[in-house]
Every structure is written in structure tokens, then in C-alpha cells.
Structure 1
Amino acid sequence: MQQRPEVLEGHAPFREYKTWFRVTGNPNSDNVPLIVAHGGPGCTHDYVLSFADIAQSGRCVIHYDQIGNGRSTHLRGAPEGFWSVDLFLGELDNLLRHLGIGQRYNLLGQSWGGMLAAEHAVRRPEGLNALVIASSPSSMPVWVVEALRLRKALPLDVQETLARHEADGTYDHPDYQAASDVFYRRHVCRLDPWPDDVVRTFRALAEDPTVYHAMNGPTEFHVIGTLKDWTVDDRLHRVAVPTLVMSGYHDEATQACVEPFVQLIPNAQQIVMPNSAHMCHLEERADTMAAVEGFLSQHDLRVSA
């Protein structure tokens, strides 16, 4: 019987705050470690914890909760402008230094985490070895257009409920939440019931939506936060490491959302998981882990320039 990888948890001081992290597996392995950035903005590591499966191959896998989320420092009173891409880039750099892996590491970002990972990669950090972007848009304006397109395919009564409560600003109304859930079940996670990891993340997001509201807005359809005009398209040519772009066939991160990553990052590879929405790491878990580990293993021996 295969022994389960060891798990270490801790906090990395960041400015006057603390970033919670979890290390699964041996950090001294010959395989290049993988750090996982979760989505949201404002979610937690829980729903992407399945990527710890990769540690069974001998690769160390690192999760963390971004500032404002999960087990890291919460800042409910912070002004909207506090929550920025630069804040989370600085936190990621700090965590890499704290863990002593900044000289060589792989980075996987899911959804908003992939946006953050792309921002990190275009800066050409010396230690970045390989990049995985999972179900992420390269442009928030395109994301909104595509979300509204998918929404128009929902049942008419669901569309009417969404529109009515958005006009009233009653986003917390049970009917609005139920109508939004129809979209989520089609384009976020198609498993029924949702795995406990997903439930924990959504519960945490509901308990403290500070980051989500500041950077995104009240819903997936109504993006009015600090990311509303964000795009990385004009800088993707600067990514200088092997890159894998993953998404689901039914994903809210549609092909239009991910296409710039595929076309503008030099020699990027793409995989579309046929039976998944936004969470192929859960919806097609084994196949997703095999694809990610297979990609990363090709580059374990690569020497950074």
C-alpha cells in the first residue's frame, strides 16, 4: 500500500499579515515543486485541494489561502483599492521566498488564480520553470461578454429572475441565489452533489465576500470591481516558460476566454476536458491530474536560462 505524502501547514509573514500555506509531499524531492493559486478572487484553497493528488508522484504540492481569504489574515474593513493584482503578486513572491523555492518552481493557477499566474509569468521571474493556466480568462471584458452569452441559454424564467433582482440590487434574495445556482450547475461544477471541498469554499466566500466584491463585484455577471477592465493579452508574448492551458468543454471560461493564452504565449499547449465545466480538477479528477503531472514531468530536467 502506497504511503500517504506528509503534510506540513504554517503561516508566512507578509507585511503585517499572515499567509496560510499547506505543503504536501517532500519539498526536497528531485521533482520541481508545484504551487497552486486558487480562484475567486475571494475563494479558498479547499476547492483546488485535489491537486495534492499529484504529490503521490513524488512532486511536492503547495497550496495557500490568499490574503483576505480562508485561514490567512482577513481584512473586512480594507478599502476597495487595497485589493489589487500587485498585492497578490507581492504575496506570492513572499511565499516563494519564505518556502525557499523561489529559485525553481512550477505555478498552477485556476480561474482568478490563472490570471494571477499569468501576471506573474509575464514578469519573467527567474525561478519559474513551467506554468499551468486552468479555466482562466485573459480578459475580464471578454469574460463578461461570454458569461452573458451563456446566461442567455438559461431557461427564460431563470433569466427573468436574475434580471429582476439585479435591477433591484437584491443579490442576496433566495430566488436570485437559486437562479444563479442554475448557471453554476451548468458552467462551474456539474457534479451532483458538489464535493465537500467546493461546499467549504463557497461557504467561506459567503461568510466573507470582501475580496470578491471589491475585485469582481456582486455576481459573475455583474463585474464592477477593480478587475472590470483587466487584461493581460498585450503582455502574454513575454511568457518564457512551457505553458499548459486547460479548461472544460462546458466551462464558464469559454474558448473565447482562453484562446489568447493559447495563441499569444509562445508554444503553449491546450487541453479541453470533454466532460467538465469550470472544475475539471474535480469533474475529471484523475485525467486532469495525469495531464498536469505528465506536462510537468517533461520539464523537471529543464535548466532555467
Structure 2
Amino acid sequence: MPLSFLRSTLFTALVVTAVACNKAPSGNEALTYNQSPETGVRTGGVRMIPVKTPSGTFNVWTKRVGNNPRIKVLLLHGGPGGNHVLFEPFESYFPAEDIEFYYYDQLGSLNSDHPSDSTLWTTPRFVEEVEQVRRALGLNKDNFYLLGHSWGGILATEYALKYQQNLKGLIISNMMSSCPEYGKYAEEVLGKQMNPKVLAEIKAIEARKDFQNPRYMELLTPNFYEQHVCRLKPWPNAFDRAFPAMNSTVYTLMQGPSEFGISGRLANWDRRADLKNINVPTLTIGGMHDTMDPKHMAWMATQFPHGTSLICPDGSHCSMWDDQPHYFPGLVKFIKAVDAGEEKVAL
């Protein structure tokens, strides 16, 4: 048998062996990401979860995507009164990384019940709602990652301060740790970036409390939203579905009607001094063009005992849309590192 043939045969065998070794493990070792854990009638991962409140029991909507017993991410949307729709890009990234995640419309939002009792719209009540959702979904300290965006970042921070024993990791996306500081940033930095005539007209409308005036949105859309909320042009279809579905009653009560700072029930929320008490690995995400101060969000990471910062250079408030090349690789790396046992992750 020619030597060249032997060499060729040996090379082929080595290649086949290498390919076989690099294939995903089979049997019990494989991540059955697409295998549904549902029994009975399958709902595509949707569950309506009963939540007890001082005003009675109501149902909130959740939807599971994927199946990984080690990594489960619960998404807290913004608003307050927003919805899960702006999280849709996560479907393009998390499944490829075997990361199980949950859409969740908070009480009063989109697919969940809409009670009319205004006393329900407080941060402590929302914290207890998240805890009830966690228990219903079976999330625990060995697999539970909580990601809050914007108002969801406030809610995630408050949840961690009370229930961090249930968390594996925490992600605060595009939210500062102080509403008064956010108000200062909006006035002293974002406002001054606007054309002075535009800003004066916006302020005049706000002074008259004429927030339903169409001119208000005509001014805000190109001069504020398209600069600091999402910089993609045109805006993706998800925004056309998410914004009209916002619960404006909840939003106005808690956030206030103005986009320059917070004047509702959250106006005095400030947890700067308490960040040091959150001991789980924590990632703060911000955008350089955010409505929130990127320097403050980077500083927050230095206050957590196990903090990591990710500032998206091309991102705005919705960095998961307009700076996906930085947002998702950093987020995935953080989650995978914490899953591997790292407490303080370097990105």
C-alpha cells in the first residue's frame, strides 16, 4: 500500500474524529433548549400567573422562550406601564446562546389584567409582584437572572435590595440609581443639546400642562426621542406596537407627564447609597446617547461589590436596538461568566 495513501487515510480519520469530538454532546449532556417542559395543552410557553395584591388577585402574562435549567432570565420592561414588546430582539440572540428567558407584562400592562385601583401603582407593590412571578416560574438562586430596563431597572434594584438571596445575577439596563440625578442630567445636559427655540417651546407647553397638544410630540420626536430613545431610522415596527399600548395612567402617576426628569411617585427615588448592599454579580448597561447619564451608570458598577459596566458607544436608551453589536455580546458574556462561577466579570 503506498505511503501517500496511508497518510491520506490517517488524515481523514483524524478529521472525522475531530469533527465528532466537536459536535454538541448527545443524550443527558445535551442542552435541550427547544424541548418544551409543558405538559397537557401546550401554550407556546405562555402562562397567566395569579398575583395577590391588597386590592385582590389579578393575572399577569408571561411567556417562556427556551429551556435551560441553569440560566433563566426574567425581563422587566420599562414605563411604568410599558410592555414586553421592546424586548423582542432578545429572540435573535439568547436562543443561540442557550439562554432561557421570560417575557413578562407587569400588572396594568398589555396582556396582563388592567385594574383601575390607582393605589396599586407603587414600587413596593410591584416588587412583591415580581417575587410572586419568580416563585410561580420556579426561578431560584442557582439559575435566576433579573434584567430590568429603564423603569424595570428601578424595579430590579428594589427587588435585589429585598430579595437578592433568590438571585444568581442582576442586570440594570439603561437606568440611573437616582431619579433626582436623572432630572438634573435631563435639564443640564440633554436640554442644552437642543435648539434653544425648540427647548423653549417644549418648556412652554409643559408649563401650561398642555401635554396632549400634538405639537408636544412633534417637537419631542425629532429632538429628543430620535436622539436619545432610539437612534434607528426609521424606528422598528416594535416601537409602533409598544408605544400605543402603553398604560398612560400608570406611566403618568409614577413617571409624570414630562420627558425631562421624573415628577410622579418616583420623583424622589434614590438608591445611590444602597448599591453597596447588593452582593450578587451585577451588570449595568448604558448608552453614550442615552436619556440617562452614561457616566452615572458606569459609576454605579463601581458601587456594587461585584459590579461590571457596559457602556454602548453607539447606543441610546434602547441600546438593545440601536447598538446590538455591543449590547448583546457584553450581556451574553456576563451571563455566561456568572454561570461559570465568576463573581466580578471583566468585559
TM-score normalized by the length of structure 1: 0.91
Structure 1 residue 303: deviation in Å?
A: 9.8
- Structure 2 gap segments, 5+ residues each: 1-31, 37-43
Q: Structure 1: how far apart are the matches of 2:69 and 2:256?
A: 42
AA of the residue aligned to 1:85: T
The more displaced of 140-149 and 258-267 is 258-267
Structure 2 match to 1:185: 226
Structure 2 match to 1:132: 171
2:242 is the counterpart of 1:201: yes
AA of the residue aligned to 1:13: P
> CA distance change for structure 1 residues 96 and 4 in 2, over 3 Å: closer, same or farther?
closer
Aligned match for 1:265, one of 298, 304, 308 = 304
Superposition map of 1:95-244 within 5 A: 95-104=133-142, 105-149=144-188, 150-181=190-221, 182-205=223-246, 208-221=247-260, 223-244=262-283
- Aligned residues: CA RMSD: 2.0
TM-superposition CA deviations, 1:29-72 (whole Å, max 9, x none): 24311111111111111012222331221111111011111111
AA of the residue aligned to 1:262: A
Structure 1 residue 263: deviation in Å?
A: 2.5
Whether the aligned pair in 1 keeps the contact of 2:73 and 2:145 (CA below 8 Å) is yes
Q: Structure 2: how far apart are the matches of 1:167 and 1:294?
A: 45
Q: Percent identity?
A: 29
Superposition map of 1:35-114 within 5 A: 35-52=74-91, 53-75=93-115, 77-79=116-118, 81-104=119-142, 105-114=144-153
Structure 1 residue 286: deviation in Å?
A: 4.1
AA of the residue aligned to 1:245: T
Whether the aligned pair in 1 keeps the contact of 2:206 and 2:258 (CA below 8 Å) is no
- The number of aligned residues is 296
Whether the aligned pair in 2 keeps the contact of 1:130 and 1:242 (CA below 8 Å) is yes
Q: Structure 2: how far apart are the matches of 1:187 and 1:167?
A: 22
AA of the residue aligned to 2:242: T
Structure 1 residue 19: deviation in Å?
A: 0.9
Structure 1 residue 290: deviation in Å?
A: 1.6
Whether the aligned pair in 2 keeps the contact of 1:33 and 1:59 (CA below 8 Å) is yes
- Structure 1 gap segments, 5+ residues each: none
TM-superposition CA deviations, 1:134-182 (whole Å, max 9, x none): 1101000001111112012111221122012112111111111111212
TM-score normalized by the length of structure 2: 0.81
Q: Structure 2: how far apart are the matches of 1:4 and 1:192?
A: 34
The 4+ residue runs of structure 1 with deviation greater than 3 A are 3-7, 301-304
2:168 is paired with a residue of what secondary structure? Answer: strand
